[in-house]
Amino acid sequence: MDKKIKIGKISMLDMLKFKNLPSRRDKVISKAEPKDIKADFPINNNAKVLHPVIQKMVIENIIDHEKAGAKTFELKTQDGSPAAWFRAGQYVSIKMNIGESYVTRPYSVSSSPKLTNQGRLAITVKTTPGGFTSDHLIRNAKVGDQINISGAEGNFYYERLRDQRNVVAIAGGSGITPFLSMASAIRDGIEDFNLTILFGSRTEDSILFKAQLDAICKATDKVKVVHVLSDEQKDGYEHGFISADLIRKYAPEDFSLFVCGPEGLYRFMDGEVEKLGLPKRLVRKEILGVSRNVTAGEDFPKEALGKTFQVKVIQGPCEYDITAVSEENLLVAFERAGITAPSRCRSGECGWCRSKLLSGSVYVPQQNDGRRHMDKETNHIHPCASFPLSDIIVEVPRGDTAE
Amino acid sequence: MSLGYVKEYDVVVVGAGNAGLMAAVNLQKQGKRTLLVEQHNLPGGCASSFVRGRFEFDPSLHELSGIGSAESPGNVRMMFKDLGLDIGWKKVDDCFRAISTFSDGTPMDITVPSGREEFVRYMESQVPGCTERIERLFELFDEISEGLDFFSNKDKYDVKFAIKHFPNMLVVGSHNTKTVFKALRIPQKCIDILATYWSYLGVDLEHLSFLHYAVMLRSYLQEGAYIPTFTSHELSVALEDKFRELGGEIWFNCKAQSFLFEKDRVCGVRTAYGDVKCDFAVANINEDIVYGKMIPKEHVPLRMKLLSSARKQRFGARMFTVHIGLDATAEELGIKDYSIFMMGTADSAKEYKEMMKGFAQNPFSIFLCYNIANPSISPEGTSMCSFTTFCSPEDWDKLSSEDYHEFKTKCAEKLIKQLKDKTGIDLSGHIEEIIVATPWTFARYLGTPEGAVYGHETADWDDIISRTMQMNKDYPIKGLRPVGAGGPRGDGYSSAYMCGELGARMVMKDLQELKEAK
């Protein structure tokens, strides 16, 4: 190597300087004032306040929407402190023990973010056929019961960097909840966009939150609600299903389409959205939960139907031997056995339950496969959207518990 | 097993960031029964990915140094290869485009190629007559690179050997980058161009060790920059699975609360599952958290109190990033460059000061389009881009949850507008997914102080050279070794991997001595 690199003002004395770098560092360090090291930072605390792992709540009030087969649970923080802030449209995951089982379920928040300052938020639960947790809540939950929930999660909210200023919301039944929250947020000056809700209900008296929605529409001209009845003919309402034509009738010029409702609504809407010719970026869907009919899917291996498999669950230093049936996702099997596994969206999307499949195989419905590319390649699974096809061994992260 | 411990291992590695993963894999490979404990449900820390709609975003990686071509591999490529890991490396063709202002006030809009010869030719085209000086600079880079490799594999400094083989390195070794450029009489216009990469180290040229800068710049210019095909999660998952395959155990979503002591030696880790016994603990955690929160007060060494105090909790860069999935191709959007550095001035010290004044004044951002280097990173007809800038903690300290979303949205809007103003690239009307990450986001997922991702600033007296030379003094607790961005190698993916590997080597040595002592 050429050793004749000429270096201007820096001189050979610098060699000594180099050799003395450690003592220079020592000098600075020794001159510092010895004190206890602070490990508490505002930014970190802010992040914790916005994203708590667990919020300890108590049921403050229950509203029975009898005709709709639903109940709204108004929750309050147990210690009266503010609840975590959320974007209108986000959900919380409730966590509770029912008998031997530990269950979690995602529910969109239906109240205005404004109420978090009072420590309050509300969720609405509808009875669903075979719905273990929803049935339990509707039948047994009472005022004063304590209930743990996650912080706010999910990406179903108005994002002005992406969405049109006009949003058309398609809601079916209890799918109104995120839009009720958005409408309240608009009324409260927290969100600023125009919201036209096309709200499908069976009959007039089964419409959820009708009075509240009416009041919001009166308070702000940014929110409009069109009620669509499927099982009843009545003046002053639209009828049938929410079709492309109906959307065109009420939609402003440029709009983003938000959809939330039961499974059937999505299947129908997919065809209608196509007719509207909207690009993907203008259509957002909130899906909480994997289809109940997953085993009816064409690509589900029929030979696995009705089978029960042995599952070894490795969780930190613990091991559990449990059984699982092919018709139910693995997260349900864990929870049935009382194992607290991480869980948020329960639709394969958020990845919070990401686990390692060490042996065996599972079925993942394509529409619920929200895994990272490399996770698919390396047998990492989201148990909430994985159905056992054989005996399996799976390594699961620790569940969410209050610190 | 002692009473009260849920399990026992040779080594517990706390934190599955880049350094933690690399340390854990290497320890397990060398026969140590190793447990890796991670508070998040994913490996990698910053080296990760997240899925939104039809896009999979990389939260942090712009480009990796130390990879090099398959024929002439760099040390990080070798590290993965030696572990039997086959990573789909993709080369980033050009180094960068920079839109800024030269020190003489004239506007700068340059696209700098990678490759040593190409770079020298490019500099000659920009500043005629500079070739000889730039070539000399590269020779100096070579010497420094060899010298540092030599030193990092030795326990003690053989001064005589160094004087004979690396005299120029010793001469420039104690100086900051600006001073050395000036002393080498590099034309100012060349310095302005060379300075662009300073932001990848998060320290301006007046406070950045020349040696640190030299190794990074040399690696990027000469070996080129690379990215993995399937985001940095590809790297983390490869290490995660290799560790398991070798027999290592991982506890995800499991926070380690503190280190346990037996007399003056760490003998275990308190985790969310209970206490775990070990002969050695590796902490891939910022040192202020380790010594400020995870160790009983009476065991915190005076040296670490003084060091922390001297560092004044000046943490490395806090990032603000915007990740965008677009429903148009890069070509349709008029994007030609992989990375565009947009700066107010080529004067890095001035620029850094402006940045730290707050978001409104911050002129700096890096715009990246992943598809330029990796066309198949997003579905056909789409593209994936990001913005990155630094921020001062003040903007994010006092913000309420309520005001947070509006503030971060405004910041993102500013960056999108700035791109349009400076390059004509208009993203509006094509944004399908957009995610904004702030210091709060990094604090949430990484737990680092202030959400900083670069450890403690590697500036002045605390640069990587001085840190490396004092390695034996900075790790005073027996049975405990912190690794990561705050370590002797400083910040960045490659540095963290190297730091993890080095950490594993030191642990092996210590455990050998412990065995012999017994």
pLDDT recorded at residue B156: 62
**For residue B147, pLDDT beyond 80:** yes
- Number of helices (H), then strands (E), belonging to chain A: the values are 10, 19
pLDDT 10s digits, A36-81? 999 999 999 999 999 999 999 999 999 999 999 999 999 999 999 9
**For residue B36, pLDDT beyond 50:** yes
**For residue B157, pLDDT beyond 70:** no
Q: Give a yes or no: residue B127 inside a domain.
A: no
Nearest by CB to B449, which of A44, A373, A378? Answer: A44
pLDDT recorded at residue A129: 78
Count the neighbouring beta carbons within 10 Å of the beta carbon of residue A359.
Answer: 11
**For residue B473, pLDDT beyond 80:** yes
- Is A280 close to B6, i.e. CB distance below 8 A? no
pLDDT 10s digits, A174-183? 999 999 999 9
Interatomic CA distance for residues B432 and A258, integer angstroms: 13
Q: Which of B144, B168, B169, B468 to mutate to test the interface with A (most CBs of A within 10 A)?
A: B168
- Mean pLDDT of the region A295-303: 86
Which residues on chain A are in Cβ contact (under 8 Å) with B52? Answer: 155
All domains in chain A, ordered by first residue: 47-149 (2.40.30.10), 166-286 (3.40.50.80), 299-395 (3.10.20.30)
Q: Give a yes or no: residue B347 inside a domain.
A: no
**What residues contact A140, with CB distance under 8 A and at least 6 apart?**
none
Interatomic CA distance for residues B459 and A13, integer angstroms: 22
- Is A161 close to B183, i.e. CB distance below 8 A? no
Nearest by CB to A317, which of B6, B430, B444? Answer: B6
Residue with tokens 């959900």: A91
**For residue B468, pLDDT beyond 90:** no
pTM for the model stands at 0.96
pLDDT recorded at residue B435: 98
Residue B37's domain is classified under what CATH number?
A: 3.50.50.60
pLDDT 10s digits, B329-360? 999 999 999 999 999 999 999 998 888 888 88
Nearest by CB to B7, which of A14, A317, A354? Answer: A317
| Strands (E) located in B156-231 | 225-228
- Is B432 close to A352, i.e. CB distance below 8 A? no
pLDDT recorded at residue A264: 85
Q: Which domain holds residue B240?
A: 5-47+232-313+459-517
Q: Give a yes or no: residue B24 inside a domain.
A: yes
Q: Give a yes or no: residue B280 inside a domain.
A: yes
pLDDT recorded at residue A128: 82
Position B249, amino acid: E
Supply B143's token pair: 């010497």
**For residue B366, pLDDT beyond 70:** yes
Q: Give a yes or no: residue B329 inside a domain.
A: no
- Is A10 close to B140, i.e. CB distance below 8 A? no
pLDDT 10s digits, B80-137? 999 999 999 999 988 899 999 999 999 999 999 988 899 999 999 999 999 999 999 9
B258, B270 Cβ separation under 8 angstroms: yes
pLDDT recorded at residue A5: 62
pLDDT 10s digits, B200-253? 888 899 999 999 999 989 988 888 999 999 999 999 999 999 999 999 999 999
- Is B143 close to A1, i.e. CB distance below 8 A? yes
**For residue B194, pLDDT beyond 80:** yes
Distance (Å) from the C-alpha of residue A148 to the closest C-alpha of chain B?
Answer: 18
- Mean pLDDT of the region A266-288: 91
The CB-based long-range contact list for B148-156 (8 Å cut-off, 24+ gap) reads B148/B211, B148/B215, B148/B465, B151/B468, B152/B468, B152/B502
- Is A5 close to B136, i.e. CB distance below 8 A? yes
Which residues on chain A are in Cβ contact (under 8 Å) with B33? Answer: none
- Mean pLDDT of the region B254-282: 97
Read off the pLDDT band of A287 (50, 70, 90): confident
pLDDT 10s digits, B487-510? 888 889 999 999 999 999 999 999
Q: Which of B405, B448, B467 to mutate to test the interface with A (most CBs of A within 10 A)?
A: B405
Nearest by CB to B174, which of A14, A37, A380? Answer: A14
- Is A32 close to B309, i.e. CB distance below 8 A? yes
Which residues on chain A are in Cβ contact (under 8 Å) with B410? Answer: none
- Is B409 close to A161, i.e. CB distance below 8 A? yes
- Is B401 close to A46, i.e. CB distance below 8 A? yes
Count the neighbouring beta carbons within 10 Å of the beta carbon of residue A277.
Answer: 7
What is the separation, in whole angstroms, between the first and last Cα of chain A? Answer: 60
Distance (Å) from the C-alpha of residue A311 to the closest C-alpha of chain B?
Answer: 19
Read off the pLDDT band of B62 (50, 70, 90): very high
Q: Which of A41, A339, A368 to mutate to test the interface with B (most CBs of B within 10 A)?
A: A41
pLDDT recorded at residue B154: 66
Q: Which residue of chain B has the CA closest to A286? A: B53
Residue with tokens 């990587």: B464
Which residues on chain B are in Cβ contact (under 8 Å) with A21? Answer: 173-174, 465-466, 469
Interatomic CA distance for residues A312 and B39, integer angstroms: 23
- Is B173 close to A400, i.e. CB distance below 8 A? no
- Is B401 close to A49, i.e. CB distance below 8 A? yes
B372, B337 Cβ separation under 8 angstroms: yes
Supply B505's token pair: 């080597």
Interatomic CA distance for residues B515 and B518, integer angstroms: 5
Distance (Å) from the C-alpha of residue A31 to the closest C-alpha of chain B?
Answer: 8
Q: Give a yes or no: residue B43 inside a domain.
A: yes
Q: Which residue of chain A has the CA closest to B437? A: A47
Q: Give a yes or no: residue B476 inside a domain.
A: yes
**For residue B38, pLDDT beyond 90:** yes
- Is A22 close to B466, i.e. CB distance below 8 A? yes
pLDDT recorded at residue B1: 43
Which residues on chain B are in Cβ contact (under 8 Å) with A161? Answer: 409, 412-413, 416, 431, 434, 436
Supply A246's token pair: 């109906």
Interatomic CA distance for residues B257 and B274, integer angstroms: 10
- Is B171 close to A14, i.e. CB distance below 8 A? yes
Q: Which of B235, B254, B277, B309 to mutate to test the interface with A (most CBs of A within 10 A)?
A: B309
pLDDT recorded at residue B474: 86
Which residues on chain B are in Cβ contact (under 8 Å) with A279? Answer: 327, 432
pLDDT 10s digits, B404-437? 999 999 999 999 999 999 999 999 999 999 999 9
**For residue B278, pLDDT beyond 80:** yes
Count the neighbouring beta carbons within 10 Å of the beta carbon of residue B70.
Answer: 9
Interatomic CA distance for residues B427 and B334, integer angstroms: 10
- Mean pLDDT of the region A127-149: 91
pLDDT 10s digits, A184-224? 999 999 999 999 999 999 999 999 999 999 999 999 999 99
Which helix H or strand E contains A322, and what residues bound it?
strand A318-325
Q: Give a yes or no: residue B80 inside a domain.
A: no
Number of domains in chain B: 1
Distance (Å) from the C-alpha of residue B334 to the closest C-alpha of chain A?
Answer: 20
**For residue B2, pLDDT beyond 60:** no
Of A75, A73, A175, the C-alpha closest to A133 is A73
Q: Which residues pair with B326 in a beta bridge?
A: B383, B431
**What residues contact B375, with CB distance under 8 A and at least 6 apart?**
none
Position A127, amino acid: T
Interatomic CA distance for residues A309 and A220, integer angstroms: 55
Q: Which residue of chain B has the CA closest to A37? A: B292
Distance (Å) from the C-alpha of residue A71 to the closest C-alpha of chain B?
Answer: 28
pLDDT recorded at residue A1: 42
Nearest by CB to A29, which of B238, B306, B434? Answer: B306
Count the neighbouring beta carbons within 10 Å of the beta carbon of residue B380.
Answer: 7
Taking one residue from A and the other from B, the number of pairs with CB-CB distance under 8 angstroms is: 252
Residue with tokens 């300052």: A117
**What residues contact A24, with CB distance under 8 A and at least 6 apart?**
B174, B461, B466
- Is A161 close to B412, i.e. CB distance below 8 A? yes
Which residues on chain A are in Cβ contact (under 8 Å) with B470? Answer: 22, 25-26
**For residue B3, pLDDT beyond 60:** no
Q: What is the ipTM of this complex?
A: 0.95
